[in-house]
Amino acid sequence: MRADELAAPYPTVQLGTPAIEAARLLAGQDLPGLIVLDGKGYPFTVLAGTQVLRMAIPQYCQDDPALAAVIDEQAADLFLRELGDRTVAQTLPGHSRDLAVVAGDATVLEIAALMARTGVPLVAVVHKDKTLMGAVTLDALLDRLLAL
């Protein structure tokens, strides 16, 4: 079993997509993460849901958990203000060396090892012409491995 047999259609966002729209896509479809495409349709990065969440948390709350404990009522407002009018590109974390992207001939074990290493429960599968074929989620991978 190879990546091209496991790849399924998966929603994507662009670098220029408003960050708030990306967060809504993640939440609205209960996705395990997001595939961010560059201008040529190639995966620029693949983010775990927790990395998307991080974009929306004011830096001072990430730096100081004690601060997060005393800010309560306006959490949703803070969150939306933090995302504001920024695009996905403007909120992206520092680039990871280990991109969750594989070619169609990647083995199941390669995909699993990549997910385990990156902590991203989602792998983008690309065609040889550098366009997106689809994605393999952790759930889909486990379902196949465990024959559920």
Nearer to its own copies (CB atom), residue 84 or residue 119:
119
Question: Nearest Cα to 103, choosing from 76, 79, 124?
Answer: 124
Which sign, positive or negative, has the C-alpha torsion 79, 82, 84, 90? negative
The correct pick among 115, 124, 125, 126 for binding its own copies (CB under 8 A) is 115
Beta carbon of residue 132, minimum distance to its own copies (angstroms, whole number): 21
Site residues for its own copies, 10-49, by CB under 8 A, read: 20, 23-24, 26-28, 30, 32, 48-49
Beta carbon of residue 40, minimum distance to its own copies (angstroms, whole number): 26
Nearer to its own copies (CB atom), residue 62 or residue 131:
62
Find the length of the chain. Answer: 148
Angle between helices 108-118 and 138-145 (to 10 degrees): 140
Amino acid sitting at position 7: A
Is position 107 an interface residue for its own copies (rule: CB under 8 A)?
yes
Residues with Cβ < 8 Å from 29, sequence gap 6 or more? Answer: 11
Nearer to its own copies (CB atom), residue 40 or residue 85:
85
Is position 8 an interface residue for its own copies (rule: CB under 8 A)?
no
Give CA–CA dist 96/92, Å, rounded.
11
* String of contacts with its own copies for each residue 48-77, x by CB under 8 A: xxxx-xx-xx---xx--x--xxxxx--xx-
